[in-house]
Chain A
């Protein structure tokens, strides 16, 4: 079975440009989360989507946006790129929402290999 796939694997952009990163979750997984990992640090949560709805947002500026499609794939968009946006962007899928209001779901996160973004 295919795991979480992300594209592109590597890309280089210049300051002020826009970037779109794509993620295909494991078949049957309806929840997708995005993380940013700067070199030497742990992944930082950006967004979580479930059934095409945003279910969680981390402490990132409005330049970051995402969406989930009917087939549960997802896109992460970053506008007006800054040098500090250079990072490994990770997508993770899970078979259910990471916690629904009123209940806890201990679903395991399955990560892709990431998209390495370099902003010059």
Chain B
């Protein structure tokens, strides 16, 4: 299973665009990349998922280069309420019997006014 590496923390100000990069050098052909957001004492919440190139939804964009060894979560115009831990996950279960998804330590994003 691919291991991910993310910055431990990032700081930003309201209204700025934030980019969080995740490294996953051992990503497998069938792995997808998924990002979750977690607030204190709450369960993680799905943000976005992608396989290659670019994916955009109403809250974020996900950029994945051709080699797929990294990915970047982009949060446009962050607000104070975006202060949270962001997790990057890679995983799949092609041909396997286990379905575990590995969360890393995540990136603590602190948005200041």
Contact = CB atoms under 8 A, between A and B. Distances in A.
B96 A111 contact: no
Interface stretch (A52-60, A65-73, A75-83): A52-60
Interface string B28-64: 0010101010000111111001000000000000000
Interface string A81-119: 000000010101000011111111110111111101000
A56 B99 CA distance: 5
Nearest to A9: B41
B102 A99 contact: no
A61 interface: no
Interface residues of A, number: 35
A116 B41 contact: yes
B46 A102 contact: no
B93 interface: yes
B94 A102 contact: yes
Contact of B106 (A42, A88, A102): A42
B112 interface: no
Interface residues of B, number: 29
Q: Is the interface of B mostly helix, strand, loop or mixed?
A: loop
A4 interface: yes
Nearest to A35: B103
Contacts of B87: 42
B103 A114 contact: no
Nearest to B93: A99
A80 to B, nearest CB: 23
Contacts of B94: 99, 102-104
Contact of A111 (B43, B93, B97, B104): B43
B92 interface: yes
> Lowest 8 A-B CB distances belong to which pairs?
A99-B93, A111-B43, A42-B103, A56-B99, A45-B100, A98-B99, A56-B98, A108-B46
Given A43-B103, A114-B42, 7 more contacts: A45-B101, A97-B93, A104-B30, A105-B93, A109-B101, A111-B45, A113-B43
